[in-house]
Amino acid sequence: MANKRRFKGGEIPTSSMADIAFLLLIFFLVTTTIDTDKGLGIVLPPPGDMEIEIRKENILNCLINSQGKVLLDEEPTAIEQIHRIVGQKLRANDKLIVSVKSHPKTAYNDYVRVIDQLKMADAKRISIANSN
């Protein structure tokens, strides 16, 4: 008598299967990250030492020392202030070329921060001097 009852239902309940699969699907959708490379774009000058004469007033010298201190046209400047000052100078003279020169021992981070500041000021003409 008792044995008969035991074999009543031999099926696996599949009604919640879709829910489980949905849950897994959503998990993978959320965790999938398409990682893209992002950064500061720059174009290097073509090879060969060519000398172009540029008028002195069109050049803005930006020197970075090994401690990460910045000298902007002989004027010590905090890195956070660069975009404001360069922005002002660009408005006054749109032919301005910013020449960035760093000490060989300058940390890459400081250099990237300066370039970022120049990008923020929308400086299109950035010249990178060899630091050695």
Partner 1 sequence: MKFTKKTKISSEIPTASMPDIIFMLLIFFMVTTVLKEHSGLPVNLPKAKRIEKLKSKRHTVQLWVSKDGMISIDDRLLSVDEVSMVMYDKRVADPQIVVSLKGDEEAEMGLISDIHENLRKVEALKLNYSTKTLVD
- In whole angstroms, the minimum distance from the beta carbon of 66 to partner 1 comes to 9
CA 53 distance to own-chain centroid:
32
Applying CB under 8 A, among 99, 113, 126, 127 the residue interacting with partner 1 is 113
Applying CB under 8 A, among 9, 10, 13, 41 the residue interacting with partner 1 is 41
Q: Are 66 and 27 in contact (CB under 8 A)?
A: no
Q: Which of residues 1-40 bind partner 1 (CB under 8 A)?
A: 14, 17-18, 21-22, 24-25, 28-29, 31-33, 35-40
- In whole angstroms, the minimum distance from the beta carbon of 81 to partner 1 comes to 15
- In whole angstroms, the minimum distance from the beta carbon of 107 to partner 1 comes to 6
Instruction: Provide CB contacts within 8 A for 54, sequence distance 6+.
Output: 97
Instruction: Provide CB contacts within 8 A for 102, sequence distance 6+.
Output: 63, 64, 65, 110, 111, 129, 131
CA distance 50 to 88: 30
Q: By the criterion CB under 8 A, which residues form the site for partner 1? A: 14, 17-18, 21-22, 24-25, 28-29, 31-33, 35-47, 64, 102-109, 111-113, 115-116, 119-120, 128, 130-132
